C-alpha cells in the first residue's frame, strides 16, 4: 500500500511517499510563497513519478505544516504535532518525545505509552524564525550552511549576541562584524544564541526524556547546534539521517491508519 505525506512549511515543501511503511521517494523544494499550493502539487507529481506510482495508486495523502490548507489536492490534513509523534515512533519505537526545529517554528511533543500525543509546546513569537535566522547569518558571514554548522559556540571566544530575540541577535552580529570581530567568532555567538533559545522551549513544560527523544527538522542537520544543544540540555537526541523529512514522514504514516 502506498501513502503520502506533504509538509508545507514557511521555507520548504517536503514530500514522502511510503510503500508498506518503507520510503519509496522523498523530495524537497522551496515553498514558493503565495504559489506554494501549486508548487506542492507539482512536487507531489514528481515524487509519485520517482516512486513509480500514479495518484490512483495512493491509498491516502495527508498534508501538514503551516501551508497544509493550500494542498487542496490532498485527501485531508493533519496537525504537525501528531505527525511529529508518528515519525518519532518510526525512528525509535519507544520514543517518549519528539522535537522538531524548522525554519520558522520549534515544537516539542510528549508521547504516551500508546503513541498518542499527551502534551505539546511551540515556541513563543519572540523565537519565530530561528532556522531562517541561521540561514541569513550564514549568508551575511559569507559561510555556507554546511560551513557554519561546523562552527561551535566555543569559537565565540567571549563574544555574545542577544539571546532573547533572533532579530536583535542579528543586529548584534552585524555590529560585531562592523567593528572587526572575526566571522567565526560571530558565527559561534549566533549558534550559542540559537541553542539557548531552543533549550528554553525544551524546558517550557514536561522536560523531554533524556534517552528517548527524537530530533527532526532542518535545523537538526546543523551539527554545531545539535552538539551544543545535547550538551546544554543533557538530552541524547536520536537524529535520523534526513531529519528535514520527519513531519512529512509522520503524515504519510498517519495516512495509512
Tens-place pLDDT, residues 176-235: 988 989 999 999 998 998 898 888 888 877 778 889 999 999 999 999 999 999 999 999
**Alpha helices (runs of H) in 79-207, residue ranges in sequence order:** 80-91, 130-140, 145-148, 166-178, 183-202
- What pLDDT, on a 0 to 100 scale, did the predictor assign at position 162? 80
Q: Quick check: helix, strand or coil at residue 142?
A: coil
Contact 242, 47 (CB under 8 A): no
Tens-place pLDDT, residues 24-52: 999 999 998 788 999 999 999 999 999 99
Beta strands across the sheet bearing 12-19 = 22-30, 12-19, 2-8, 58-64, 76-77
Per residue in 136-158, is it b (16+ CB within 10 Å) or e — as a string?
ebbebbebeeeebbebbbebbee
Q: How far is CA 104 from CA 45, 55, 143, 159, 200, in A?
A: 26, 31, 21, 25, 16
Identify which of 62-71, 140-149, 163-172 has the greatest average pLDDT. Answer: 62-71
Domains of the chain by start residue, with CATH: 1-90+244-257 (3.30.420.40), 93-237 (3.30.420.40)
Q: How is residue 132 written as a grid cell?
A: 531562517
Q: How is residue 195 written as a grid cell?
A: 541553542
- What is the rounded CA–CA span in Å between residue 189 and residue 79? 34
- Predicted TM-score (pTM) of this structure: 0.91
Amino acid at each position: 500500500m502506498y501513502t503520502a505525506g506533504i509538509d508545507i512549511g514557511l521555507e520548504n515543501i517536503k514530500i514522502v511517499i511510503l510503500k508498506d511503511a518503507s520510503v519509496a521517494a522523498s523530495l524537497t523544494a522551496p515553498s514558493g510563497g503565495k504559489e506554494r499550493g501549486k508548487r506542492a502539487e507539482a512536487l507531489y507529481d514528481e515524487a509519485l513519478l520517482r516512486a513509480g506510482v500514479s495518484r490512483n495508486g495512493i491509498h491516502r495523502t495527508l498534508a501538514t505544516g503551516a501551508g497544509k490548507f493550500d494542498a487542496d489536492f490532498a485527501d485531508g490534513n493533519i496537525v504537525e504535532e501528531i505527525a511529529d509523534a508518528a515519525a518519532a515512533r518510526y525512528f525509535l519505537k519507544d520514543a517518549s518525545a519528539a522535537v522538531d526545529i524548522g525554519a520558522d517554528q520549534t515544537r516539542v511533543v510528549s508521547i504516551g505509552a500508546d503513541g498518542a500525543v499527551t502534551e505539546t509546546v511551540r515556541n513563543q513569537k519572540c523565537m519565530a524564525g530561528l532556522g531562517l535566522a541561521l540561514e541569513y547569518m550564514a549568508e551575511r558571514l559569507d559561510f555556507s550552511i554546511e560551513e557554519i554548522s561546523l562552527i561551535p559556540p566555543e569559537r565565540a571566544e567571549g563574544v555574545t549576541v542577544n539571546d532573547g530575540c533572533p532579530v536583535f541577535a542579528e543586529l548584534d552580529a552585524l555590529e560585531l562584524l562592523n567593528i572587526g570581530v572575526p566571522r567565526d567568532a560571530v558565527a559561534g555567538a549566533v549558534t550559542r544564541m540559537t541553542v539557548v533559545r531552543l533549550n528554553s522551549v525544551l524546558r517550557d513544560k514536561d522536560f523531554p526524556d533524556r534517552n528517548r527523544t527524537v530530533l527532526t527538522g532542518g535545523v537538526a542537520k546543523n551539527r554545531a547546534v545539535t552538539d551544543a544543544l545535547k550538551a546544554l540540555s543533557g538530552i541524547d537526541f536520536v537524529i535520523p539521517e534526513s531529519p528535514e523529512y520527519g513531519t512529512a514522514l509522520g503524515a504519510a504514516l498517519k495516512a495509512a491508519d
